């Protein structure tokens, strides 16, 4: 951890964030179970890029409770944009990653919270309320699910496991189809569950050999990046992409032994 990060009490923030993300998950489940009233759905660019009142209220819970404990910290969230703090801390929040699945009563959604200190990701938490699994990582301290250590996949060929793929209408089909073709030609197989953060958490636990999406927003993948690297895997230099916090970019996460092969297939810089 760099000197700037070391001056910040990262461990206290992790402990607080554990409680906050579970409380946010409980509130999200109230909406998911239908006990918090009907959802108000707004359509963004298209019908599959949706935001609900649940997204907004869950993000508000996370922001408010973290701000109460650490008032000098800043925030970047999917629903409420960026709010610069008075220090180097920036919390990056996706209140419900997989909103289309959430509103369709499918369980493949999660809550993602990461902490950046300067240009470094130092904390990541991904909570899957439907499975009650909390994935956590702190810089230099390894990755865990519900307190148990996890490791990224150690397979040596893409045919030895499932690759998570993500796509949206922000990118054209001719970007992702060649990757799918190469994977299938190499006797590999892919899965898409509708949530980048959840699939990156699964990759950090070795359930997937990796994850690729040609364009992703930072709140979708930031927690997954530190989870993957702390679990012994590899990700591309997402934060090294120009204007990535505003514009997003490609993400590739992979088990160390298939990182070269997947980078070659996707064209992502190794």
- Give the per-residue pLDDT at 48: 45
- Give the per-residue pLDDT at 8: 81
At CA 234, angle to CA 231 and CA 237, rounded to 5?
130
In a 3-state reduction of DSSP, which class is residue 26? helix
- Give the per-residue pLDDT at 47: 46
CB-CB neighbours of 144 under 10 Å: 19
- Give the per-residue pLDDT at 38: 65
- Which H or E run contains 128? strand 120-128
In a 3-state reduction of DSSP, which class is residue 254? strand
CB 224 within 8 A of CB 208: no
Average pLDDT, consecutive stretches of 10 residues, N- to C-terminus, the chain (270 residues): 64 98 96 72 56 86 97 90 92 94 93 96 98 98 98 97 92 91 97 97 98 96 98 97 94 98 95
β-pairing, 50-52 vs 41-43, is: antiparallel
Cα–Cα distance measured from residue 148 to residue 230, given in angstroms and rounded to the nearest whole number: 13
List the structure tokens of 139. Answer: 């810089």
β-pairing, 210-216 vs 41-43, is: unpaired
Burial letters 105-117, b for 16+ CB under 10 A, else e: eebbbbbbbbbbb
């Amino acid at each position: 951890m760099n000197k700037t990060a070391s001056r910040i009490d990262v461990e206290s923030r992790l402990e607080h964030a554990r409680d906050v993300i579970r409380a946010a998950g409980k509130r999200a489940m109230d909406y998911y179970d239908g006990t918090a009233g009907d959802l108000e759905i707004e359509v963004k660019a298209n019908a599959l890029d949706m935001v609900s009142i649940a997204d907004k209220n869950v993000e508000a819970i996370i922001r408010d409770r973290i701000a109460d404990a650490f008032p000098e910290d800043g925030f970047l969230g999917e629903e409420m944009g960026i709010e610069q703090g008075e220090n180097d801390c920036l919390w990056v929040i996706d209140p419900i990653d997989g909103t289309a699945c959430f509103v369709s009563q499918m369980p493949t959604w999660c809550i993602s919270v990461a902490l950046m200190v300067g240009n470094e990701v130092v904390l990541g938490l991904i909570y899957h309320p439907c499975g009650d699994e909390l994935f956590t990582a702190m810089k230099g301290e390894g990755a865990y699910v519900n307190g148990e250590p996890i490791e990224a996949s150690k397979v040596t060929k893409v045919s030895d496991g499932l690759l998570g793929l993500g796509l949206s209408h922000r990118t054209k089909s001719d970007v992702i189809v060649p990757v799918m073709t190469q994977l299938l030609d190499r006797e590999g197989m892919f899965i898409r569950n509708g949530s980048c953060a959840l699939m990156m958490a699964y990759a950090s636990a070795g359930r997937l050999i990796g994850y690729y999406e040609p364009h992703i927003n930072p709140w979708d993948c930031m927690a997954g990046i530190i989870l993957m690297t702390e679990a012994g895997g590899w990700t591309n230099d997402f934060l090294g992409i120009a204007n990535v916090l505003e514009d997003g970019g490609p993400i590739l996460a992979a088990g160390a032994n298939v990182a070269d092969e997947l980078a070659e297939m996707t064209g992502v810089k190794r």
